[in-house]
Amino acid sequence: MARPRQFDEEQVLRAVRDQFWDAGYAATSLEDLMRVSGLGKGSLYGAFGDKHQLFLRALRSYTDTSGGYLREMLTSTPRALDALRAFVMAPVSDPGGAAARRGCLMANSTCELATTDPDVLAEARRTYEATTALVAECVVRAQGEGDLPADADPIETARALLAAQQGLVFMGRTGLGIDQLTATAGTLADRFLPDA
């Protein structure tokens, strides 16, 4: 056999993901990636391929992880309406508002690359369709629990909730204070989720 790897793939992907998250794709250089991962160029290329492939791996890892958290949260919250409210308020759930300022890696990547990078666009479509489906499922549950009107289209409602949430994420990136952001999140949630 041969020499084993001296690094943990998951750990490296997390470090790389954070770097892309904070600086974006174009503004992140290979030197940055070497610094945050502690690896040399050869190791990075040997293990993940070039910068673009590495980015896609990190992005996929991010969407898989947050998709898992979302599914868990939506299904494990006893009352579906509470889960939906938590979904909308998620961008401001971080106490200091740091998460709000950082935004969402998938959203940032979509803005930066979706028009020019087909792989990123595909990942964006995949992610937002999956998210819409998860939320729609939760909407159906809320309807079954009598908390949402039964005649509303679940998919359409889910899309509107997702748009509202992503709008919040975006407002966070404009430097809007966490207090105003939280208030706006509440206003949005109240409009869609009566009596939560």
Which residues of the chain form contacts with a copy of itself (CB under 8 A)?
22-24, 26-27, 101-103, 107-108, 110-112, 114-116, 121, 124-125, 128, 156-157, 159-160, 162-168, 170-171, 173-176, 180, 183-184, 187-188, 191-192
Q: For residues 15 and 37, is the Cβ–Cβ distance under 8 A?
A: yes
Decide which of a copy of itself, DNA, none touches 51; Cβ closer than 5 to 8 Å per partner kind. Answer: DNA
Residue 52 · residue 69 · CB < 8 Å: no
Quick one: what does residue 107 bind among a copy of itself, DNA, none, with the CB cut-off 5 to 8 Å set by partner type? a copy of itself
The single residue among 41, 79, 125, 191 that binds DNA, judged by CB under 7 A, is: 41
The CA distances from residue 43 to 33, 35, 54, 115, 154, in Å, are 11, 13, 12, 31, 47
Q: How far apart are CA 81 and CA 189, in angstroms?
A: 10
Q: Give me the sign of the Cα torsion angle 159, 165, 169, 175.
A: positive
User: Are 20 and 103 in contact, with CB atoms under 8 Å apart?
Assistant: no
Q: Does 143 engage in binding with DNA (CB under 7 A)?
A: no
Q: Is 26 exposed, middle or buried (0-12, 13-18, 19+ CB in 10 A)?
A: exposed
Q: CB 65 → a copy of itself: shortest distance, Å?
A: 19
108 binds, among a copy of itself, DNA, none (CB under 5 to 8 A by kind): a copy of itself
Binding partner of residue 194 among a copy of itself, DNA, none, CB cut-off 5 to 8 Å per kind? none
Site string for DNA, 7-36 (x = CB under 7 A): x--------------------xxxx-----
Residues that bind DNA (CB under 7 A): 1-7, 28-31, 39-43, 45-47, 50-52
